[in-house]
Amino acid sequence: MDVKGKKVIVVGLARSGVGAANLLKRLGASVIVTDKKKPEELGPFIEDLAPGIECSLGGHAAELFDAADLVVVSPGVPLLVKPLREAAEKGVRIIGELELAWQFYRDRKTAFLAITGTNGKSTTTSLLDVMLRKGGFATLLGGNIGNALTTVLERAEGRDGPGPDFVVAEVSSFQLDAVDDFRPHGSAILNITPDHLDRYASMADYVDSKCRIFFNQDEHDFLVLNADDPVTAEIEERIERHLPTGRRPAVFYFSRKKEVTGAYYKNDVIHFNLPGYSSFALHPSGFRIRGVHNVENAMAASLMALLSGCGPGAVEQALEEFPGLEHRLEFVREIDGVRFINDSKGTNVGAVVKSLESFDGSVILIAGGRDKDGDFGLLKPLVSDKVKALILIGEAADKIRKALGDSTRIIMEDSLRNAVSRARGIASPGDAVLLSPACASFDMFRDFEHRGRQFKEIVAEL
């Protein structure tokens, strides 16, 4: 992509916006960044911009887009906002930061491995990266996991020595909405459950976005799917409809319920139905990460690693050593036999289902936040079976109460601190106090990390 001397508008100034703007400036573009937030709200990001990048903040001025040669949009900005819609109608090309990173790096001898899904993306992506590095490969890790790919790739350009063997990327539906040519060598869709329906018109639209991860793949590439996910059949239909016969990626599956071509879980062991790996097995009892959802994450990461040429020894070693990620069923502390667990990344109903499935004893669940149009009624069976008390906070508290009111004891609180205090007061030895909100955090916190760290600080003070 030749952007030298061209006027490029970057919409949205956060980590992705900074990464895109700095890369474009390095490539010789005339860059203007626009954001609806005011300068005082964006101070740290403004400081990270390269010299010579202009800022137009406090709104998206329509005239900025009139002479634009290219618009690069950050994931948090919907493509249907008026300035973008009008620019597209005028024929201006609009791409996302993920597409920009791909265009920048596509001609190098580096394979992209991309992972999406509603839940488990960060753990699986991080685990895959560890496996490959233990297998002797050089990797770059980035994307929705927290480090903008444009930033990661630009920094790598300044290093001496050979480039990476793999770019390992976590990608979100928002990022996939704005790709054109993005083509990973290996991709995975871990699961698709209702999420972000405050942004998408329908569940079908959300599935369409996730499926864009494989739309440009061909017979030289591979795709990993969850055979147990009810949406997988829809994904298979989209493969048949979108990709011509003979030009489709090789499809492999992982499953906790049945034998498949790929990886499957049987008698407490993970088996691999792959050429050359039929005698290789993994024992989750030896993993540092726990829970049924992490069995799925381990199968997906292992499949992608093996299909990318990683040795089985490196895969096994990574699983024995990988401690998991912060805010994902993270053990915080045990007090008088009560365990406190931080699952702040549980920002949708599907994530909370996976989390509750991982507990054998009784749970005091702290939930609530900003609703993403989730169907909280789907939690009823697990809440009835496993939740001793449900403590609700945030904007969605009343909606959750109405959906789950007859499932367990419900307590309404006005802050996370009071919720933790109440949970401590009613917990008995053997119980787990679980923060898994099923909602976004933005009503009370900066992001899910801020929420999780506040929870840990409060627990540390008990």
Residue 154 DSSP SS3: helix
- Show the 3-state SS of 337-348: CEEEEECCCCCC
Which CATH fold would you assign to the domain 99-321?
UDP-N-acetylmuramoyl-L-alanine:D-glutamate ligase (3.40.1190)
Say what the pLDDT of residue 158 is.
67
How many Å apart are CA 212 and CA 335, to the nearest integer?
46
The answer as to CATH 1.10.3470.10 being correct for domain 7-91 is no
Read off the DSSP letter of residue 424: H
Domain boundaries, the chain: 7-91, 99-321, 330-460
CB neighbourhood size of 216 (10 A): 18
Say what the pLDDT of residue 380 is.
96
- Cα-based angle 41, 46, 33 (whole degrees, multiple of 5): 95
Say what the pLDDT of residue 288 is.
86
* Nearest in space to 396 (alpha carbons), one of 376, 382, 421, 417: 376
Q: What is the DSSP string of 198-264?
A: TTSSSHHHHHHHHHTTTTT--TTSEEEEETT-TTHHHHHHHHHHHS-TTS--EEEEEESSS--SEEE
Backbone angles phi, psi at 127, to 5 degrees: -65, -45
Which CATH fold would you assign to the domain 330-460?
Protein-Tyrosine Phosphatase; Chain A (3.90.190)
Say what the pLDDT of residue 107 is.
85
Q: What is the DSSP string of 121-152?
A: HHHHHHHHHHHHHHTT--EEEEETTSS-HHHH
For tokens 């381990």, what's the residue?
298
Which tokens in the block code for residue 195?
A: 């999420």
* Nearest in space to 455 (alpha carbons), one of 419, 412, 413, 411: 419
Say what the pLDDT of residue 160 is.
64
Q: Matching CATH topology for 7-91 and 330-460?
A: no
Say what the pLDDT of residue 198 is.
77
In tens digits, what is the pLDDT along the chain, a chain of 462 residues? Answer: 799 999 999 999 989 999 999 999 999 999 999 999 999 889 889 999 999 999 999 988 888 898 899 999 999 898 988 889 999 999 999 999 999 999 999 888 899 999 999 889 999 999 999 999 999 999 999 999 888 999 999 888 867 667 899 999 999 999 999 999 999 999 999 999 877 777 888 889 999 999 999 999 999 999 999 999 999 999 999 999 889 988 999 999 999 999 999 999 999 999 999 999 989 999 999 998 888 889 999 999 999 999 999 999 999 999 999 988 889 888 899 999 999 999 999 999 988 998 998 888 899 999 999 998 889 999 999 999 999 999 999 999 999 999 998 999 999 999 999 999 999 999 999 999 999 999 999 999 989 999 999 999 999 999
How many Å apart are CA 29 and CA 415, to the nearest integer?
47
